[in-house]
């Protein structure tokens, strides 16, 4: 492992890397990644994106849909510079890893002029995903709002309603942090957000919120306000649109209360990450 994964920038600012990760599928990683990308583009940043999910390729398809929609409808839509890094089949694991690392390094190299690079990862434990996690400045982990998903962060003693041990995923983030600190770099800013919040039974909800607080303290992440369960998030994928693409002359994206609420949720996430100032600020600035 000679070259650093993120190429040296010789005094220039390197892109700020936001990784969206969780080793479980269907928790909202790609949806979150896409909304972060469009939010950053709308703030005027140069944005790069990397899709490491070879199997689903949701982010890559989402962006292709966006391109197709823009061309067919005539609505100008901003897009990031995108790279899809797939897994490689080689004779040995070591050979595959060497080639995968080189491809990911090349993707970062291509995006060095960006202010931000948003990386979407697969819902499984892969070498490429590990590399991305190791190099994240901010890690955003969306979780579905259930005990099943909390299990992704830690083993929970259901009887005693307590955290009994960190999960392999939390352990991985923790070990990455140790390596970073040893190398004189700041630890990753880990943000966990609950996704697809519904009006589940109040007691259940309180219990999950309580466990999240315990976990945040034990494992070292911050909890961001999440996204509600909203049909709009599912519907926009085919057109490659996000709730942030609202425009008064686009019949596909007219204002409605559910979209407004969804936009508020995206804004809350941006605030939690530190990409926009907390209300009632007048202007939007970046801290990363
Ligand atoms: N807040 C939400 N409300 C409704 N549907 C959602 C929400 N977040 C994600 N989804 C839907 O759930 C499915 C999985 O989301 P996705 O972002 O692809 O997850 P992942 O990348 O973690 O596998 C998609 O069909 C997506 O549209
Ligand atoms: Mg995905």
In-domain check, residue 287 = no
153-196 pLDDT tens trace: 998 887 777 788 889 999 999 999 998 899 888 999 999 999 98
In-domain check, residue 139 = yes
CA of 124 relative to ligand 2 center, distance in Å: 10
3-state secondary structure of 199: coil
Neighbours of ion ligand 2 (CB under 5 A): 29-30, 58
- Model confidence at 280, pLDDT cuts 50, 70, 90, reads low
Which amino acid residue places its CA nearest to atom 9 of ligand 1?
28
In-domain check, residue 105 = yes
Q: Is 233 in the pocket of ligand 1 (CB under 6 A)?
A: yes
Sign of CA dihedral 168, 97, 190, 60: negative
In-domain check, residue 119 = yes
CA of 119 relative to ligand 2 center, distance in Å: 11
Q: Residue 140 belongs to a domain with what CATH number?
A: 3.40.50.300
What's the domain count of the chain? 1
Q: Are 17 and 122 in contact (CB under 8 A)?
A: no
Task: Point out the ligand 1 atom lying closest to the alpha carbon of residue 230.
Answer: 3
Mean pLDDT value across residues 206-235: 89
In-domain check, residue 197 = yes
CA of 249 relative to ligand 2 center, distance in Å: 30
In-domain check, residue 210 = yes
Give the structural domain span for 22. Answer: 16-273
- The most confident of the ranges 53-67, 151-165, 221-235 is 53-67
Q: Are 33 and 120 in contact (CB under 8 A)?
A: yes
Q: Are 81 and 116 in contact (CB under 8 A)?
A: no
Please say if the pLDDT value at position 44 is more than 60.
Answer: yes
In-domain check, residue 282 = no
In-domain check, residue 170 = yes
Q: What integer pLDDT is reported at residue 286 of this predicted model?
A: 52
Please say if the pLDDT value at position 83 is more than 80.
Answer: yes
CA of 20 relative to ligand 1 center, distance in Å: 13
The angle subtended at Cα 69 by Cα 67 and Cα 70, nearest 5°, is 65
Q: What is the pTM of this model?
A: 0.93
């Amino acid at each position: 492992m000679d070259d650093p994964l993120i190429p040296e920038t010789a005094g220039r600012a390197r892109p700020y890397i936001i990784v969206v990760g969780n080793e479980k599928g269907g928790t909202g990683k790609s949806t979150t990644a896409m909304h972060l990308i469009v939010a950053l583009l709308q703030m005027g940043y140069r944005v790069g994106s990397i899709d490491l999910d070879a199997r689903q390729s949701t982010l890559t398809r989402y962006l292709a849909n966006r391109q197709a929609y823009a061309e067919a409808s005539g609505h100008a839509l901003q897009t990031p510079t995108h790279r899809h890094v797939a897994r490689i089949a080689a004779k040995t694991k070591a050979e595959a890893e060497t080639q995968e690392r080189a491809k990911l390094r090349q993707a970062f190299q291509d995006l060095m002029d960006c202010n931000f690079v948003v990386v979407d990862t697969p819902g499984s434990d892969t070498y490429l995903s590990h590399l991305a996690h190791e190099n994240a400045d901010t890690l955003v982990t969306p979780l579905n709002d259930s005990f099943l998903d909390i299990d992704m962060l830690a083993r929970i003693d259901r009887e005693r309603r307590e955290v009994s041990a960190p999960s392999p995923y939390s352990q991985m983030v923790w070990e990455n942090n140790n390596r970073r600190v040893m190398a004189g770099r700041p630890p990753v800013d880990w943000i966990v957000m609950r996704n697809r919040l519904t009006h589940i039974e109040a007691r259940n909800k309180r219990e999950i919120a309580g466990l999240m607080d315990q976990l945040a303290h034990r494992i070292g992440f911050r909890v961001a306000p999440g996204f509600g369960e909203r049909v709009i998030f599912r519907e926009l994928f085919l057109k490659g649109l996000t709730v942030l693409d609202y425009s008064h002359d686009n019949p596909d994206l007219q204002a409605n209360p559910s979209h407004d609420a969804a936009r508020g949720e995206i804004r809350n996430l941006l605030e939690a990450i530190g990409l926009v100032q907390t209300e009632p600020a007048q202007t939007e600035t970046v801290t990363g």
